[in-house]
A and B are shown apart, each in its own frame.
Chain A
Amino acid sequence: MDLKEKLTASFLAFENQVDTDTYVHDVRNEAIKIFEEKGFPTKKEEAWKYTSLNSVLKEDYSVFPKKENAIEYNDVKKYFIHDIDTFNVVFIDGKYSSHLSQTTHDGLDVCLMSSALTKPKYRLIIENYFNKAATKDSLPSLNTAFSSEGAYIHIPKNKLVQKPIQIIYFSTGNEAATMLQPRNLIVVDENSHVQIIERHQSLTDNPVLTNSVTEIFTNKRAIVDYYKIQNDNQSATLIDNTFIKQKQESVASVHTFAFGGKLVRNNLNFYQTGERIESTLKGVTIIGDKQHVDHNTLVHHIEPNCESHQDYKGIFGENSTGVFNGKIIVEKEAQKTNAFQANNNILISDKATINTKPQLEIFADDVKCSHGCTIGQLDESAMFYMRSRGIPEKEAKALLMYAFSNNVLSSVKIPEIKQRITKIIANKLGVNIGFDL
């Protein structure tokens, strides 16, 4: 039985075991139909031309977590940004872990999707926002059909959230292969500001397939900073679907740091449904081995006077493959749009591959849109400069690569994250320098 059959067959059992609110019930039923019809994407689809899921889908995944697994905080402390005070929403094998988490209902809601989906007091928000930004593509639909758990964050009007919120998904690997489908909903009301960090981490080498959907709604003048840290084991596969719907004058930024995983696919979609919106998409990818990282971004400019800024840097070693597929659509009404996109890559191995496709679709005439894309090597004269001053080759290379990705790091607003990423980069490049020279 292949994974698709297994999933569709288990849908009924799943529906029966969760409390069914009528609205969510309908949404789920509709979603499973879409998935049944479309199935898993293949390389024949334009959006998946360079990324094949075949090697991932052949595993025999268990699709429901069987029991709650406990893990000790000290064992996983290193995966937290633990040097600052944060709200934490932690899941182990898809189940909520109350002793690792720190949630709140005090002035804002940082809690669980499962309770939001069932408790009447959240009904209005769920009906207004749940599945309203996600597309009807097969993988988001699959997630919608099985959506039951994840983080639910609602920030009411005029609230500056003092602590960042960490959302962490652990998988213990207690079963041979696990499939997880977390679902996050983040609603930020007028004038509010929140910072969120998301991470997926498997604790063993057993294969994990995560098909995650995050919907973010930024209302008028809201500000959202979102950081994705992807440094998982090389047996883990992550398909991340993030949809951000922005209202007027809101500011949203997503930083994606992709260092790990066997296969990572980031579908990051921004919809600008108001005027004077700013969207920022930035990413650093440093991978080696047989890793595969695919960034698939969409910025949809629907209203006038908006801006979007994309900057993705990639360093690819060994047999790794990098894919960047960035799409900017500017609708006829979206005059005075200012859209910028850059994708710079360095290949450091003969067996590494880069496929990049920066795409512009423009229907308005009074716009400034540009994209740039480069593939190149480290500057030899810069290398020589450092070598001639006694910096060993490895360190010199690392410094150059760090400098290369610094553009993206410089806009990270939480210093602890910056330090953490710097450490991961140093680790990844095999050097023992701090970079904060």
Chain B
Amino acid sequence: MNKYTEDDLREELKTKEYEYGFYTDIESDTFPVGLNEDIVRAISHRKEEPEWMTEWRLEAFRAWEKMIEPEWANVHYTKPDFQAISYYSAPNSKPKYNSLDEVDPELLATFAKLGISLDEQKKLSGVAMDVVVDSVSVATTFKKTLGEKGIIFCSISEALREHPDLVKKYIGTVVPQKDNFYAALNSAVFSDGSFCYIPKGVKCPMELSTYFRINQAGTGQFERTLVIADEGSYVSYLEGCTAPSRDENQLHAAVVELIALDDAEIKYSTVQNWYPGNAEGKGGVFNFVTKRGLCEKNAKISWTQVETGSAVTWKYPSCVLKGDNSVGEFYSIAVTNNYQQADTGTKMIHLGKNTKSTIISKGISAGKSQNSYRGLVKISPNADNARNFSQCDSLLMGNECGAHTFPYIEAKNKSAKIEHEATTSKIGEDQIFYCNQRGIDTEKAIALIVNGFSKEVLNKLPMEFAVEAQKLLEISLEGSVG
């Protein structure tokens, strides 16, 4: 029997190249590099935005200029030169298509390689997709079906044109323009993103999904996502990312705002597989994301994420539990390999009474990577009977990687019940032995164990996404996932 040991796995991980590294040659209409007020105005103008939006962007830009890039995260990287980035790029093949046949065939081929062809998605999974290739939405499907229910699902620039009141009312209410360095930058220059509005009492009949891709050399992508679930509604939103192999670092600074009004529920799932850099740690995407959701009375927001890509990940999907009885959840798997660095976690801010939050975070580090969990659980003085459970587990593969936990817990209410636990371990030899003894070879055994380790989170993903998540886990840790 050929013996597959952890060392072999480690060896394999080291040499494993990014499988989705390819580059689609689509002519793009790109702005000159650099950032100043004129660029911000030009972006706003190009998107045909209303006057207030231009002002809103400029306000963010002015605030951003005064801000200092934060350094507190447990990651090390060369800071991007914000003046060397082109802030707008849109595929040339406009106008919009009515059917898939009209879409640039090369683009379709790209998606086919990813195994996410629109066709397949449409036919098999019944998922409506708002495909974002380099910032501009090129196809929106199933819009009609959604339209019948009164659901608005479109690109944010379209929303700005067609539903300016809704956008104006909610944009920046959860993540203000001046929230942090990257959120301010995003507010100033975001080129596109998705907008979703679920009317009162409507249960969205299908999973909504968007694919973001960074495709043009040197363009940072700054998406803005705004999801509003009106009273008593429900929506499950999927976001997945893959990016082509490229040598220079690309910046990705997205902002996601979720608003769950009374009795509403939002489930937001992410699979992130930006290019992580090669085995020497060269290249790769910087992923600096601000994600936050606001829960009103009896509302629920659930974040699920599978983070396998990016050279540097820095994101903390958070829940502000403002309304009484609201619920926040965070399920995360973060896999780092080679020289990847991830500093990720969540914030649960308990403001209302009887609020509940659950945090399950699984970190797997291999190669020379560093994986950190950083979280905050805050119970304000008025949050009676708040309940939190947090669990962060780390799995280390090899002795050159690191796993870190930085949980912050702040309680100001005596009726709060908070539990936090964290463990760090490696795959035990006894566990492998147990499996071997029962006729399961080592490779399968490792697969089983890693799978079991991340099961709690994988189970939370919607069916359509679980398949892809598995796929991405396989790519990141091939040989360890069955």
Contact = CB atoms under 8 A, between A and B. Distances in A.
A37 interface: no
Given A46-B72, A360-B403, A347 B421 contact: no
B399 interface: yes
Interface string B71-84: 01000000000000
A374 interface: yes
B381 interface: yes
B72 A372 contact: no
Contact of A372 (B397, B408, B417, B420): B420
B410 A361 contact: no
A69 B7 CA distance: 69
B381 A375 contact: no
A375 B422 contact: no
Interface in A341-357: 345, 347-357
Interface stretch (B151-159, B192-200, B310-318, B423-431): B423-431
B411 A347 contact: yes
Which of B397, B417, B422 is most buried by chain A, counting CB atoms within 10 A of its CB? B422
A416 interface: no
B415 A374 contact: no
Contact of A347 (B401, B402, B414): B414
Contacts of B396: 362, 364-365, 367
Contact of B409 (A354, A362, A376): A354
Interface residues of B, number: 35
A363 B402 CA distance: 4
Contacts of A354: 409-412
A377 B396 CA distance: 35
A357 B422 CA distance: 12
Nearest to B370: A363
Given A46-B72, A350-B381, A375-B416, A358 B422 contact: yes
B409 A365 contact: no
B407 A349 contact: no
A365 B415 CA distance: 38
B394 interface: yes
B409 A375 contact: yes
Contacts of B404: 359-362
Contacts, number: 115
Contacts of A362: 394, 396, 402-404, 424
Interface size class of A (residues with CB under 8 A): 35 or more
Contact of B401 (A350, A353, A360, A365): A365
B405 interface: yes
A353 B410 contact: yes
B399 A364 contact: yes
A366 B394 CA distance: 12
The interface residues of chain A, by DSSP majority, are classed as strand
B425 A368 contact: yes
Contacts of B424: 360, 362, 367-370
B419 A366 contact: no
B338 to A, nearest CB: 16
A116 to B, nearest CB: 40
A44 to B, nearest CB: 11
B414 A373 contact: no
Contact of B413 (A350, A358, A366): A350
Contacts of A365: 396-399, 401, 426
The interface residues of chain B, by DSSP majority, are classed as strand
Contact of A357 (B397, B406, B411, B418): B406
B400 interface: yes
A381 to B, nearest CB: 15
Nearest to B405: A360
Contacts of B408: 355-357
A375 B379 CA distance: 11
Nearest to B404: A361
B411 A358 contact: no
Contacts of B407: 357-359, 373
A357 B351 CA distance: 20
Contact of A360 (B397, B414, B422): B422
B415 A358 contact: no
B414 A355 contact: no
A353 B417 contact: no
A420 B414 CA distance: 29
Nearest to B74: A361
A360 B423 CA distance: 9
Nearest to B388: A375
Nearest to A325: B408
Contact of A351 (B72, B381, B397, B415): B381
A418 interface: no
Given A372-B421, A373-B418, A374-B420, 19 more contacts: A46-B72, A50-B410, A332-B400, A335-B399, A348-B414, A353-B412, A354-B411, A361-B404, A362-B396, A363-B401, A366-B426, A368-B424, A368-B425, A370-B421, A371-B422, A373-B407, A375-B411, A375-B418, A376-B417
